[in-house]
Amino acid sequence: MVEINFNDENYPEILKNIKNPPKKLYILGDVELLNKNLIAVVGSRNFTEYGKRMTKKFVKELVDNGLGIVSGLALGIDSFAHIEAIKNGGKTIAVLGCGFNNIYPKENEKLFYEILDSGGTIISEYAPQEEVKKANFPKRNRIISGISVGTIVIEASYRSGTSITANYAIKQGKKVFCIPNSLENTNSVGIINLIQNGALIVKNANDIFKGLNQNNVKLNNKIKTHKVAQNVDINVQKLNELGKEIYDFIKDNEKVSCNNISNTLKLKVEEVNEWLSILEIDGLIENVGGNKFMIVNTL
């Protein structure tokens, strides 16, 4: 473990500019990472399938573009942000609201060590023996947004921790990016509030980079990622005629079930099931529940 004081050389520059910066940081893992270009990905603990899919999509795009992913090691969207960053060969930082000896929530103890194993970093402004206190968690959110160039909000209910992080980001003069969601979803209440207060709606990483550019953020300290091979196109080319036909059908129709495919394309159910498995193994399609399938990475 490393301790960094405010006046130390390697104290992250970006964190010095916020109001009420932590006087001391306790750090596990790669200290260098703190001075790279980072972006916060936060969201609700009570997430929906949609939120999970969007987290996957955005984290992947950001990691591919050399940004580190910062989040709060909470359950739900936060966990997915960390996991996806690791999966895609990127770096991730978890900001805790308690000491390292009392990992909270307990369920994420495994993830805690996975982050460290993947070359990521864990930071906290609290000494290792500091206990879990409810009041400390909203406070650590200022570090999450403070250390990042911008904050992406996936799903947030009214007055949630996620909204707190986003509000810190706004106060710190940083861009907040929101992912559109259904009005009927309680997790969109926080999102709508943020949008009304000037957060940007984004549909992909490109929009995020545009927004950062408007905010005069220079990304000159990106992380060099060893890109995980993009084999989607290759796998599509490898399919035979029938496989291609089924793949294209799923692509054109968004969510389709095995029955839809077999009825429309006049194929036997067993044949369709066989191809669904092949496409799933190749990572081309995904079962989104209710036996419905969607193309991976369509947007």
Partner 1 sequence: MMAKRFSSILPELSFEESIEITKIHSIAGMLSENNPLVNIRPFREPHHTISIPSLIGGGRIPKPGEISLAHYGVLFLDEIAEFSRNVLESLRGPTENGSIVLNRVNGNLKYPSKFMLIASSNPCPCGYYGSENECKCTNKSIRKYLSKISGPLLDRIDIQVEVSPVKCDSLNSDVRGESSLIIRERVNNVRKIQKERYKEYGIFSNAELTPELIEKHCKLSDECKGILQKMFEKMGLSARAYNRILKVARTIADMDQSLNIEKRHILEAIQYRSLDKKIRL
List contacts with partner 1 (CB under 8 A): 45-49, 52, 76, 182, 184-187, 257-259, 270, 273-278, 280-281, 283, 287-292
Other Cβ atoms closer than 10 A to 270: 10
Q: Which amino acid is at 211?
A: G
Give 37 or 44: the residue with its C-beta nearer to partner 1: 44
Least Å from the CB of residue 272 to partner 1: 9
* Minimum CB distance to partner 1 smaller for 232 or for 278: 278
Nearest distance from residue 125's CB to partner 1, in Å? Answer: 29
Residue 79 or 136 having the CB closest to partner 1: 79
Closest distance of CB 276 from partner 1, Å = 6
Burial 37-62 (b: 16+ CB within 10 A, else e): bbbbbbbbbebbebbbbbbbbbbbbb
Closest approach, Cβ 48 to partner 1, in A, equals 7
Separation between Cα atoms, residue 145 and residue 172, nearest integer Å: 8
Nearer to partner 1, 121 or 188 (CB): 188
Quote the tokens at residue 208: 């995020």
Length of the chain as a residue count = 299
Where is 189: in which H helix or E strand? Answer: helix 189-196
The torsion of the CA quartet 82, 85, 38, 159, rounded to 10 degrees, works out to -40
The contacts of residue 73 (CB under 8 Å, 6+ apart) are: 79, 82, 94, 95, 96, 103, 104, 108, 111, 112, 115, 122
Shortest Å, Cβ 112 to partner 1: 20
User: Would you say 124 or 187 has its CB closer to partner 1?
Assistant: 187
CB of 287 to partner 1, least distance (A): 6
Smallest distance from partner 1 to CB 189, Å: 13
Q: How far is the CB of 40 from partner 1 (least distance, A)?
A: 21
**Cα 54–Cα 59–Cα 61 angle in degrees, nearest 5:** 100
Nearer Cβ to partner 1, position 17 or 263? 263
Q: Which is nearer to partner 1, 213 or 277 (CB)?
A: 277
Cis peptide preceding 105, ω within 30 of 0: yes
What separation in angstroms does the CA of 15 have from each of 10, 24, 76, 224, 260?
Answer: 11, 11, 26, 22, 53
Nearer to partner 1, 198 or 289 (CB): 289
For tokens 């929906």, name the residue.
48
